[in-house]
Amino acid sequence: MARGFTSPMWMTFKQALELGAAVRKGETGSTVVFASRFTKYEADGSGGEVDREIPFLKAYTVFNIEQIDGLPERYRHPPTPVLDAIEHIEHADCFFRNTGAVIRHGGAQAYYSPITDHIQMPPFETFRDAASYVATLSHESCHWTARPDRVDRDLSRYAKDKTERAREELIAELGSCFLCADLGIAPELEPRPDHASYLDSWLKVLSDDKRAIFQAAAHAQRAVSFLHGLQPVQADERAAA
Residue-wise pLDDT tens digits, 126-150: 888 888 899 999 999 999 999 999 9
* Residue 14 pLDDT exceeds 80: yes
176 and 111 together in one domain: yes
31 and 135 together in one domain: no
Average pLDDT, the chain: 85
Question: Does any domain span residue 3?
Answer: no
**Best mean pLDDT range from 1-5, 90-94, 108-112, 139-143:** 139-143
Q: Let me know the angle formed at the C-alpha of 215 by 194 and 180, rounded to the nearest 5 degrees.
A: 50
* Residue 48 pLDDT exceeds 50: yes
Question: Does any domain span residue 51?
Answer: yes
pLDDT at 7: 83
134 and 177 together in one domain: yes
Question: Does any domain span residue 173?
Answer: yes
116 and 66 together in one domain: no
177 and 129 together in one domain: yes
Question: Does any domain span residue 162?
Answer: yes
98 and 214 together in one domain: yes
Q: Is residue 188 a contact partner of residue 135, using CB atoms and an 8 Å limit?
A: yes
Residue that finishes a domain, picked among 28, 43, 75: 75
**Quick one: average pLDDT of 3-7?**
82
Residue that finishes a domain, picked among 55, 75, 95: 75
Neighbours of 145 (CB within 10 A): 25
129 and 56 together in one domain: no
Question: Does any domain span residue 222?
Answer: yes
Question: Does any domain span residue 240?
Answer: no
Cα distance from N-terminal residue to C-terminal residue, the chain = 35
Q: Give the whole-number percent of the chain exceeding pLDDT 70.
A: 84
Question: Does any domain span residue 131?
Answer: yes
Taking the whole predicted model, whether its pTM rises above 0.75 is answered as no
Q: What is the total count of domains within the chain?
A: 2
DSSP code for 83? P
116 and 209 together in one domain: yes
pLDDT per position as a tens digit, 160-204: 878 788 889 889 999 999 999 899 887 655 555 555 666 666 677
* Residue 82 pLDDT exceeds 90: no
Residue that finishes a domain, picked among 75, 95, 119: 75
Question: Does any domain span residue 47?
Answer: yes
Say how far apart CA 64 and CA 2 lie, in whole Å: 12
Instruction: Identify the domain containing residue 18 by its residue range.
Output: 10-75
pLDDT at 184: 86
194 and 213 together in one domain: yes
**Quick one: average pLDDT of 63-73?**
94
* Residue 237 pLDDT exceeds 90: no
**Quick one: average pLDDT of 227-235?**
81
111 and 224 together in one domain: yes
Say how far apart CA 147 and CA 241 lie, in whole Å: 27
219 and 107 together in one domain: yes
- SS3 of residue 32 by DSSP: strand
113 and 134 together in one domain: yes
